[in-house]
A = this chain, B = another copy of it.
């Protein structure tokens, strides 16, 4: 049975949503949970019927969101360190953490190690599109701020492998995020990456910011600086639109009635753009499976992150990444 290590205390909202999410996942999927944290708090919350599918790993040091990522390497007793190390030792097949994402990234890269041929692991995130249930994978979204063309090329190979092996897309389309569709567009690094990526049969060329959401491509490649800004910008636009609607609805009884009649539509919208629906961002390029969840993850997000970890661990993605990189190196 697949073993999933879960940092039970790393999130912004404490242990409760993580434990609830784990319970829901245990009820829905077939796996064994390795819960890392204070077992005197966690154990009593797990229903008796599930106890035989949970192992408790004692740790009471929580690595804070405001600490510097590299400091985590000295914090061997922290929940995040112990959770990642379970994958390193081979005691777990995957790790899920809603803790400090930079720390998870550092630990996974340095303790688990990189896949042969990978220069830099990348954080990939699923973004909602206008096509219901269809997500696009954007990477890197924060791990690597200054990227060379070779790094972007490797992100493309890793993204393609994840799209094929985990997302189940037979022939994924890979795009390079740029400031225009023409091959001549781009900055120095992306123009060089364009040439490198042209060797991939899945490469469709440069794509623009709006293509993230129109389901025209499955994987979008960018450096971590751009990736972070586009994530925050997207969140900002969605929040602003919601705020403007809410503020103005409040001022009119007619609009309040209208909003009530439209409740179902708003619910569908919320669901379609809700982060919790996909739950976490896979870290690609390490010799193991790590899912980085949002610090503010609710139980649903944790449950879906665990589901992602299971699919990732059951897949051939890491093997494919190694194979493909070797092929292109020749």
Contact = CB atoms under 8 A, between A and B. Distances in A.
Interface string A221-257: 0111110111111111111110111011100101101
Interface stretch (A2-10, A210-218, A307-315): A210-218
A235 B210 CA distance: 7
Nearest to A191: B145
A208 interface: yes
A186 interface: yes
A243 B128 CA distance: 13
A209 B187 contact: no
A262 B240 contact: no
A145 B266 CA distance: 38
Contacts of A91: none
A142 interface: yes
Nearest to A270: B244
A239 to B, nearest CB: 7
A269 B248 contact: yes
A249 B265 CA distance: 6
A117 interface: no
A146 interface: yes
23 contacts: A130-B244, A130-B247, A142-B179, A145-B186, A145-B187, A178-B229, A208-B228, A210-B233, A213-B239, A226-B226, A230-B230, A233-B233, A234-B234, A234-B237, A241-B273, A244-B273, A248-B268, A248-B269, A255-B265, A257-B258, A257-B261, A258-B260, A258-B261
